[in-house]
Amino acid sequence: MATTNGGNVEVVAALPAITRQDNPPPKQPALEPLTLAGIAARRAKAGKLIAGTAAYSDSDMFKSPQAYNQLKARRWDHLLSPEVMAREACALKKAALNLKKPGLLSLGGGLPSSDNFPIESLSMQVPYPPFLGKTSTEALRRDTTMGKHDIRDKDGVYDISIALNYGQAIGSAQMLRWVTEHTELVFCPPYADWRCALSIGSTGALDSALRMFCDRNRRDSVLTEEYSFATALETMTPLGIKVFGVHIDEQGLLPNSLDEILRNWDESARGARKPTVLYTVPSGQNPTGTTMGVQRRKDVYDVCSKHDVFIFEDEPYYYLQMPPYDKANSAAHPGAVDVYSNQSTEDFLKNLIPTLLSIDVDGRVLRMDSFSKVVVPGSRMGWVTGSEQVIERYIRLQECCTQGPAGFSQALMYKLLDETWGHEGYLRWLIHMRSEYTQRRDALLDACEKHLPKDVMSWTPPATGMFLWLRVDHTRHPHAGQKTILELEEEIFDSCIERGVLACRGSWFCAERDAELTGLFFRTTFASSSPTDMDVAIQRLGEAVRGSFGI
């Protein structure tokens, strides 16, 4: 196909638009939320997806024909940065429009011919549902293969000749279909013109989002949880964007604190314009592990609407929503029965906390989804969801930086998520991951119950994610008057290292770097260590705290 469909390499080769073998489905109300069966029916109706090298696609091609709300998102021209407003579609792209002319021969785009790709096939062995074992290695397995010309030779919809050539910055049509369907299935954005685009992971998506909405020359600033994701803070500061912390409780952001900051903003005292962006991790927040409940999300959203603040919703841990911790029935106990592992996918979906995107009638949320925590970090592929305007600007930026995720990642993730598992298999995998993480969390919490001095330490069992935030009551420390919180934190950290355990210091996550510490915290994770190691590690941590407090 590449020989006649040559587009242009440089811009992300805008090429033949997608065609379908059948007619588009007739417009009809689809007021019921989308289901797995609905996706299957829609695909069957739409016919085989035909999308060649660097084919243009967008989410509208894969959404329900009728949106859940006919109202379109608001426009964000007043918040978008001059940099991103100045971005234009490439001049060369205009040429691509001509490629639809039958019989046109292209000498235009410098796309290499797939004849010269030194990769004939890609294969992968993956677990297959039901995911029976405690780890993926004990599960059933399947092999899946992609050849260079599966579309031509095997009636496939995606192959190496397309996946490994230049593509669109939005991602391949094949993967975009999957993320769009998944987004509608789970999040149901309540405005008409929402769209998705693939990202190279949420770190990259956040950097792009900041370039889109913040400008140092406007003295723009961002709000976030008072303890926030360290890399996010480090992404913002060098861009000249000031970051301000919002107070939190065990459910994360406090709407009152958010409102108070915005109501009483003093530009000259703060040295920054009133914030126009909120960056938040609503579920399993890093580092505090907090998860906003439904009402909290609505309240936070309302405050943002009131002050016209745009929201970056960063949700890598979203699917790691676990049942409440029950000490007596810890999932880490030998022989513990996981009643949730056989949950139906309908129940699983029904019980997920609604996202900010799900209540976003204005299109003021740019949501970032990631496969890093639930599939593999090394895909460097995730996706963003937002209004048509915001996603269009996002794509213009990607055309001049990432060009979308790697073709290897798109090819292999497509084989896994779409062809091998399908939407249902992926949901079953997420249910399985939740069980895995519940066991890990419970092992860490069991160790805390066993080893930590409760008179000076406290914690809230996380409902989501991979982090446990430990509070140490510095006011009860014998040197509380003489030493600062930072000094006590350092003393305990050093003692931990000496005893052979590493936990992250709370001060590393302070949203406002110069602000005084309000508490003494350590972040721990249950993502990677074995239950035995976690038990020993927490015992050492407890000893370090006891040693410092002299108890």
Residues 116-135 that bind a second copy (CB under 8 A): 116-127, 135
Q: Which of 504, 469, 475 is nearest to 490 (CA)?
A: 504
Per CB under 8 A, contacts with a second copy among 19-38 are none
Q: Which is nearer to a second copy, 37 or 86 (CB)?
A: 86
Q: Which stretch binds a second copy (CB under 8 A): 69-77, 237-245, 260-268, 347-355?
A: 237-245
Stretch that binds a second copy, among 21-29, 93-101, 218-226, 249-257 (CB under 8 A): 93-101
Q: Does 486 bind a second copy (CB under 8 A)?
A: no
* Residue 25 per-residue DSSP state: P
One of 60, 83, 490, 491 touching a second copy (CB under 8 A)? 83
Question: In angstroms, what is the minimal distance from the CB of 476 to a second copy?
Answer: 23
3-state DSSP assignment of residue 231 = helix
Contacts of 95 (CB under 8 A, 6+ apart): 8, 108
**Positions in 203-232 near a second copy (CB under 8 A):** 203-204, 207, 216-217, 229-232
- Could you give the CA distance from residue 372 to residue 391 in angstroms, rounded to a whole number? 21
How many alpha carbons fall within 13 Å on the CB side of residue 125?
6
Interface with a second copy (CB under 8 A), residue total 125
For a second copy, the binding residue among 157, 538, 544, 545 (CB under 8 A) is 538
Query: CB count, 10 Å around CB of 273?
Result: 15
* Residue 22 or 533 with smaller CB distance to a second copy: 533
Q: Residues 259-298: x/- map of binding to a second copy (CB under 8 A)?
A: ---------------------------x------------
Q: Judged by CB under 8 A, which of 380, 423, 441, 451 binds a second copy?
A: 380
Nearest to 194 by CA among 377, 342, 390: 390
The 3 state secondary structure assigned to 253-318 is ECHHHHHHHHHCCCHHHHCCCCCCEEEECCCCCCCCCCCCCHHHHHHHHHHHHHCCCEEEEECCCC
**SS3 category, 534:** helix
Residue selected from 403, 439, 495, 548 as contacting a second copy according to rule CB under 8 A: 403
Report d(CA 404, CA 378) in Å as an integer. 15
Residues 499-518 that bind a second copy (CB under 8 A): 500-505, 508
- Which pair of structure tokens corresponds to residue 95? 């040429």
Backbone angles phi, psi at 450, to 5 degrees: -80, -40
Nearest to a second copy of 386, 404 (CB atom): 404
Name residues contacting a second copy, limited to 451-470 (CB under 8 A). Answer: 466-467
- Binding residue for a second copy, selected from 436, 442, 446, 489, defined by CB under 8 A: 436
Q: How far is the CB of 212 from a second copy (least distance, A)?
A: 11
By CB under 8 A, tell whether 524 contacts a second copy.
yes
CA distance 184 to 524: 34
165 binds a second copy (CB under 8 A): yes
Of 296 and 432, CB closest to a second copy:
432
The one-letter amino acid code at 419 reads E
- 237 sits near a second copy (criterion: CB under 8 A): yes
Q: How far apart are the C-alpha atoms of 5 and 315, rounded to whole Å?
A: 38
Stretch touching a second copy by CB under 8 A, among 18-26, 242-250, 306-314, 411-419? 411-419
- Taking the C-alpha atoms of residue 407 and residue 419, their distance in angstroms, rounded to an integer, is 16
